[in-house]
Structure 1
Amino acid sequence: MFTKLFSRRLWSRDFVLIVLVCTIASYTNSTFMTLLPVYVLDLGGTNAMTGMMMTGLTVVGMFTRIIAAPLFDRVGRKKMLVLGAGLYAVNALLFCFTKDLNMLFALRVLQGFTQGVFFPVPHIIVADISPEDMLVDAMGLFGAANAVVFAVAPSIGLAVYNDLGRQALFISSTVTGFMSFFFSIFIKEHYHPAPHAPAEPGRKTKKARFDRALLLLVLLTSLVHLFLYIGNSAVSNFLTPCGLSRGLEQISLYFLVNNIAVIAARLTVGRLIVYLSKKTCILLSVLLSAGGTALIAVARNMPLMLLSAVLMGLGLTAAAQLLQAQVMLTTPSEHRGVASTVFTFMGDIGTGAGAALWGALSAGAGYTVTYLLAGTSTLAGGVFHGAYWKRNRG
């Protein structure tokens, strides 16, 4: 069943390199996400400041991706990858030279820019270099490698921070950042922008119709992604206080089990589509994700919470992976930068909007209503899923 995962057609030199680039950089990203808030508190800052840092990073990152998206298609993938990896490594290095909270705030917001240039490119390169019939597997392996790093990096980073201090933590993050940059240099450019030929008057309208049709397909897929992450934001942002309010002191186990399910889904979903159509697999994944979210509404013990963790890990991961692969397969290579950005951008909007919505709702109506409605919002993505396949029959 898994022999195709080890095919030499997939494991090319550049595929190995791009996996290394992203997984090594994931250590840097993970340590900043999980341990910079701890450092801010140690310096006398507050959780409110950490929240504002994340808001600034998110807003700057979103605008950066919008601006950078056309460059991925016009300039080329490798140039943008090397530029982004280099900027991200230098950004990490700057943290080694300050203890000032205002400067830390500015550097963290600046990471929104460097991440916005760097992080979107590896997924596009994976799509460029992978055989079309193995793209789902390629995305799965790529995501699984990053998930493993995100599972272990916080513990490693915390040990470094506690035993050796903040300077050692930032140095280790800088070293991995520059290692990622170093490996990016050796990746070959597989995408070459096509020269812009003058349009023929008789074909102008036809080309416009094609562009609108392509955009509609990308938007429909991205809207499924949007509603998936609106629902998921209730889990990622409010599960811990929900569990503690119900007396579940071991609620952190949810995220461990969820991460194991994420890795399992990434490695197996490519095999599942051999037996079931992508349309069916995505629909089942949306249902699993919605069910896992809604289950939290009635979960008053850890077994039910852990069942939700499995359903969410399998459902959300499989749906997002298949949807992203479908966007890449539907879109010509000269438009993949923009299409990929639209797809991830909608997920970011869902995460941000969902956090605000569920935060207000949970404060007023409680967690039971919140998670029931979050599961229902996930199901809304199924409407756009059906509309996509209706438009994409051919």
Structure 2
Amino acid sequence: MSGQKPPLWTKNYILLCLSSLTFCLAFHSLIPTLPLYIKEQGGSSDMAGLAMAALTVAAVLIRPIAGWALDRYGRKAILLAGLLVFLIPSFVYSFMIPIVPLLLLRFVQGFGWGVGTTAQSTLVSDIVPSHRMGEGLGYYGLANSISLGLGPALGLWLIASQSFSNLFVTSFLLTTAALGLVLLIKAPKQSNLNQGVKLVFLEKLALGPSFIILLTTITYSSLLSFLALFMQEKGLASTGWFFTFMAISSFASRPLAGKLIDKKGQTGCHTGILVGLLTIGLSLCMVAGTNSPWQLILAGCLFGLGFGFVQPTTLFLSINSVSSTRRGAANATYWTAFDIGVALGSVLWGVIANHFGYATMFYLNIIPLLLALVYYLTGKSAILRLGFSKQMGVSQN
């Protein structure tokens, strides 16, 4: 039927979601385990922390260039290059190399992570039909939610029951699977390549929603870096349950947020941002005052719910603020802001925790959320207007 709208669940979309899932699993399996490997090799806590810092710095540096390359040379080739750059260090890790070469390779791997995730996010925005963009981004984001819940557990299980070498081989195989799935994708044709796309480090039309996610991930980093230490101080061994229920809650809220955007438009985005920021704030207050595993589990559910609304909504607004020929730059701007928020938060909250303690630190997480809320409400009209004024320029095959 000629008037029938294109479906969401196409072969290309499913392959890309599966590729993102395996790629994110490979990534998250290394997050808690590489610091343990460094410590086992005789490294200090500072050196263990460099495993994440090296990757984050590299990802932030490469994303703007990746965005330009995606708009200049196309999506699929750049995505394959990013996956390959991430893949090679995983293979070398399996030889149980010393700490310094590992950290250097981790920096290189950050380039692959930055390029790969930016390219996947850009390609999915090309593949998803415009009338289901919110829902499509919501389901696509589930790959990160699932991997956040399963990846660290997989990595820790592998080193506990087998060996670090098997962990690195598993990460290599997962990334290989991600690369193989991308090879099967038939990317949409782009008619505006090779026309002198300028290298810009920030896509100004995407700055509004990107700044909101930057402030939000500043709070997210406090959980990633210090929740386990805070619970250890309180004598509660329930940190894993927080992240498990956070992932489950996010799994439920992301598709809901996407459908809300597609059905309600600007009103749906407005609701998603408000509900998300307020729910995250409530969650962090509960974390600060928690005295039982059940409180922490409820806090995890609330954080997952809130983040599951804010993240796909702000990503939708960033992507939709530009024409299809600038989606690479918009995605690069968004994910650069995401990474910067995590990096800034890790440093900021560490200083605050040392001076005032973990409970006060988690209460102070309210400040960046309030700043995000004030910023959004002040510029709401412009942010939402830009997010619904895109020009479609990609032909779906």
- After TM superposition, the score normalised by the length of structure 1 is 0.87
Q: Measure the CA separation in 1 of the matches of 2:147 and 2:164.
A: 20
Aligned to 1:304: 295
Q: 1:308 to 1:195 in 2, by over 3 A?
A: closer
* Structure 2 SS opposite 1:119: helix
Match of 2:342 among 351, 367, 375: 351
Aligned to 2:97: 99
Aligned to 2:87: 89
Q: 1:158 to 1:249 in 2, by over 3 A?
A: closer
Deviation at 1:329, TM superposition (A): 1.7
Amino-acid identity (%): 25
Matched residue type, 2:296: M
Q: 1:155 to 1:367 in 2, by over 3 A?
A: closer
Deviation at 1:191, TM superposition (A): 4.4
Aligned to 2:363: 372
Deviation at 1:24, TM superposition (A): 1.5
Q: 1:360 to 1:287 in 2, by over 3 A?
A: same
Deviation at 1:8, TM superposition (A): 7.3
Matched residue type, 1:257: F
Deviation at 1:370, TM superposition (A): 1.8
Q: Which protein shows a greater Rg?
A: 1
Aligned to 2:331: 340
| 1:63 to 2:61 alignment | yes
Matched residue type, 1:118: G
Match of 2:9 among 8, 11, 15: 11
Deviation at 1:374, TM superposition (A): 0.7
Q: Measure the CA separation in 2 of the matches of 1:188 and 1:49.
A: 42
Alpha-carbon RMSD across the aligned residues, in angstroms, is: 2.4
- When the two structures are aligned, how many residues end up with a matched partner? 374
Match of 1:267 among 251, 255, 265: 255
* Structure 1 SS opposite 2:32: helix
Q: Measure the CA separation in 2 of the matches of 1:259 and 1:334.
A: 33
Q: Given that residues 96 and 165 in structure 2 are in contact (C-alpha distance below 8 angstroms), is that contact kept between their aligned partners in structure 1?
A: no
Matched residue type, 1:109: F
Deviation at 1:125, TM superposition (A): 0.8
Unaligned runs of 5+ in 1: 1-6, 199-210
Q: 1:312 to 1:346 in 2, by over 3 A?
A: same
Unaligned runs of 5+ in 2: 390-397
Aligned to 2:52: 54
State which drifts further: 230-239 or 383-392.
Answer: 383-392
Q: 1:96 to 1:242 in 2, by over 3 A?
A: closer
* Structure 2 SS opposite 1:252: helix
Q: Given that residues 75 and 193 in structure 1 are in contact (C-alpha distance below 8 angstroms), is that contact kept between their aligned partners in structure 2?
A: no
Match of 2:212 among 204, 211, 224: 224
Aligned to 1:139: 137
Match of 1:281 among 264, 272, 280: 272
Q: Measure the CA separation in 2 of the matches of 1:150 and 1:193.
A: 36
Q: Any runs of at least 4 consecutive aligned residues in structure 1 with deviations exceeding 6 A, and if so which?
A: none
Q: Measure the CA separation in 2 of the matches of 1:279 and 1:100.
A: 50
Q: 1:345 to 1:197 in 2, by over 3 A?
A: closer
Match of 1:322 among 313, 320, 325: 313
- After TM superposition, the score normalised by the length of structure 2 is 0.87
Q: Measure the CA separation in 2 of the matches of 1:379 and 1:108.
A: 35
Aligned to 2:392: none
* Partner deviation per Cα, 1:269-299 (whole Å, 9 max, x = no partner): 2234446532122112111112212232333
* Partner deviation per Cα, 1:230-251 (whole Å, 9 max, x = no partner): 2222222222222222332333
Aligned to 2:115: 117
Aligned to 1:172: 170
Q: Given that residues 57 and 109 in structure 1 are in contact (C-alpha distance below 8 angstroms), is that contact kept between their aligned partners in structure 2?
A: yes
State which drifts further: 186-195 or 105-114.
Answer: 186-195
Q: Measure the CA separation in 2 of the matches of 1:167 and 1:351.
A: 29
Q: Given that residues 288 and 314 in structure 1 are in contact (C-alpha distance below 8 angstroms), is that contact kept between their aligned partners in structure 2?
A: yes
